[in-house]
Chains A and B, each alone.
Chain A
Amino acid sequence: MNNKLTGTSAAILYAVTAAMMIFILAPIVLIIATSFSDSYFVTFPPEGFTFRWYGEVLQNEEFTSGLTFSIGLAVATTVLSVAMGVPAAIALTRGRFVGRSLLKGLALSPLIFPVLVTGLALLQLFSGYGWMDTKLKLLIAHTVVTSPYVIRTVLTSLQLVNPNLEEAARTLGATRWKTFTRVIFPQIAPGVASGSIFCFMVSFDNYPVSMWLADSANLPVPIVLYRQIGTVFDPSVATMSTIIIALAIAVVLVLDKLVGLRKAMAM
């Protein structure tokens, strides 16, 4: 069978695809263009070309500390999510306990809980734990939001691992731990990697949860950005956004180099 589209239907399909791409990418391109705009206001189309805003933004103490704070928070969140998500996914695929298939179904279903509500709920919960550090609260809250991403990607790749591999390793003399590190983990590494990227991204640009829990000493960068817009609306906001986009792309590229992400996504 020939699945190639021809004639009118092909033309329509290409047009729709192109429109879709423009729709998705245009705002981002606009932001990037604006970040080099040589004007004091956000204008369209951007005027001139300058690196001035980059110099300014990188001097901006509030922004740089927000950025480092968010990177730190995202890394910690990712590590914690992986540390909890991988064992959880293993338990959901291999374990035998009541309610397993229900939990598994929940973990695999689209993530339905509104994050805003989760944030509010956590704020209420934490109000009873006044001694707790804001950083810790943010870490826990972000992990609550991001760990399902790890569980899902790891669960999906675990389901593709032949259970006989595990048994073969065991009969060959491997303990459970050795079986995990030498046989299971290499099989699910791409899933862990793609889960980690989701985690990092979701935490890094999270606003609705951080908004409830952050304080002036602990400001993630999305909140810094929002405040910035509230005070001045000059191209520096676009510059900050561009830096964030660049960082995001860098993280993806690094992980791709490390574990071959494209392979993982294609699974």
Chain B
Amino acid sequence: MKSVEVRLEKLTKHYLGQVIAVDNVSLTVKAGEILALLGPSGCGKTTCLRMIAGLVDPTSGEIVVGGKPTTHTPVHRRNVGMLFQNYALFPHMTVAENVAFGLEMRGVGKAAREKRVRDALDLVQLNTFGDRLPAQLSGGQQQRVALARALVIEPSMLLLDEPLGALDKGLRESMQVEIRSLQQRLGLTTIMVTHDQDEALTMADQIAVMHQGNLEQIAPAGEIYRKPKTRFVAGFIGASNFFEATVTARNGHAAQLAAASGVSLQAEDMGSVQGDKVIVTVRPEAVTVAPLVGEGQTTGANMAVATVEQVVYRGFMLHYYLRLANGEPMVAYRQTQTEGFGNVVSAAGDRVLLSWASDANHVIQIN
């Protein structure tokens, strides 16, 4: 299967009499990669995917597949493999007939068809299920049939719209791994829609975060977590502590900042951020919690005194819900047995000293 690059150029969709569902989205999915469209409900993920599939006509913009504009190609000639959340297997056809459908539409002869159907069912480990009807399969098996049906036509790309949403957690995780490894083995360009950030981080090479029809940021999974570009992305992917801060001194890439909450911050890398008013984010797992030695203890940069409001035990992690002197909330995640309190968990009402490394400070520009 030859992989192709998929490019969206200023893709826009206005539904009749509706708000703008997708607004001027441009992005590129490299050949053989998985892109996850991630965002809250109603942000336009499905609309975006359906435009790529050809099921929805864009209001404007261009879809370029393998260098060829396909914006006006009808659905049935786009050669895309698509998975739906509700599987969408044809209920009156057997598993084998379902998988054969796309080949039949392409006029593949009976003998070749049967062989390819068998191979495809092998691929998803359902070779003994060919004669069953979809209703006689479990949800996970149905989605694997749908996957075989989508792959057997050797599509130029795979489109997944929350394909695992209806499965329970354990099955969902194993299917994520299964789809990911199949996709890599076949080198198939894939675009998936999800509102589950863990799913996106597990499966995708690139994550595109959407918000109200706009593309907020597109970046590799690790980068989008470490270096969110906007406050929305920082809050949507994982949890974050936010400081509204003013730059007091710059020193090359580094800078000193004063947060509105009275905390002074030392950032190592301002990136390309301009201006004096910024937002600094700190991931909760970067924040260390230590007992306060004395109330008068001096605090330096990237330190703060706080009161513990609640400690939530989350298996191997403890979630500390804290409040700063000026009333602003902070969150810290610590492994259950680490420095500071040792095995003793601090309790609500305790006064603690928070600190974090200066490279944990990530600076975001305010637009």
Contacts and interface: CB of A to CB of B under 8 A. Distances in A.
Given A168-B84, A169-B101, A174 B76 contact: yes
Contact of A172 (B54, B55, B91, B101): B101
Given A167-B82, A178-B105, A182-B101, A172 B149 contact: yes
Given A173-B153, A174-B76, A183-B90, A167 B84 contact: yes
Contacts of A183: 90
Interface in A151-186: 162, 164-165, 167-175, 178, 182-183, 186
Contact of B79 (A162, A169, A173, A175): A173
A134 interface: no
Interface of B: 53-55, 75-82, 84, 86, 88-92, 101-102, 105-106, 146, 149-150, 153, 159
A187 interface: yes
Given A168-B84, A171-B81, A173-B153, 17 more contacts: A162-B88, A164-B84, A168-B89, A168-B146, A169-B90, A171-B54, A171-B55, A171-B75, A171-B78, A171-B159, A172-B76, A172-B101, A172-B150, A173-B79, A174-B101, A182-B101, A187-B91
Given A178-B105, A182-B101, A171 B92 contact: no
Nearest to B149: A172
B105 A165 contact: no
Q: Interface residues of A toward B: which range?
A: 10 to 19
Most chain B CB within 10 A, of A164, A175, A186, A187, is at A164
23 contacts: A162-B86, A164-B86, A167-B53, A168-B90, A168-B146, A168-B149, A169-B90, A170-B54, A170-B76, A171-B53, A171-B55, A171-B81, A172-B102, A172-B105, A172-B150, A173-B76, A173-B102, A173-B105, A174-B76, A174-B101, A175-B76, A186-B92, A187-B91
B84 A173 contact: no
Interface of A: 162, 164-165, 167-175, 178, 182-183, 186-187
Nearest to A178: B105
A165 B88 contact: yes
B153 A172 contact: yes
A167 B90 CA distance: 11
Contacts of A186: 92
Contact of B55 (A162, A167, A175): A167
Contacts of B102: 172-173
Nearest to A176: B76
A120 B80 CA distance: 56
Contacts of B79: 173
Contacts of B92: 186-187
Contacts of A169: 90, 101
Contacts of B84: 164, 167-168
Contacts of B91: 165, 187
Nearest to A173: B105
Contacts of A178: 105
A98 to B, nearest CB: 11
A174 B105 contact: yes
Most chain B CB within 10 A, of A168, A174, A175, A182, is at A168
A171 B82 contact: yes
Nearest to B78: A171
A250 to B, nearest CB: 27
Contacts of B90: 165, 168-169, 182-183
A185 to B, nearest CB: 10
A156 to B, nearest CB: 17
Given A178-B105, A182-B101, A170 B88 contact: no
Given A173-B102, A173-B106, A168 B76 contact: no
A183 B92 CA distance: 8
A187 B91 CA distance: 8
Nearest to B97: A182
A183 B98 CA distance: 10
Contacts of B77: 173
A170 B75 contact: yes
A167 B254 CA distance: 53
A182 B79 CA distance: 19
A187 B54 CA distance: 24
A135 B151 CA distance: 55
B76 A167 contact: no
A264 B29 CA distance: 47
A183 B91 CA distance: 9
Most chain A CB within 10 A, of B54, B78, B89, B101, is at B101
Contacts of A165: 88, 90-91
Contacts of B86: 162, 164
A216 B146 CA distance: 61
A183 to B, nearest CB: 6
A175 B86 CA distance: 22
A162 to B, nearest CB: 6
A150 to B, nearest CB: 21
A191 B105 CA distance: 26
Contacts of A187: 91-92
A251 B212 CA distance: 57
A258 to B, nearest CB: 15
Contacts of A170: 54-55, 75-76
A231 B76 CA distance: 65
B45 to A, nearest CB: 16
A187 B105 CA distance: 19
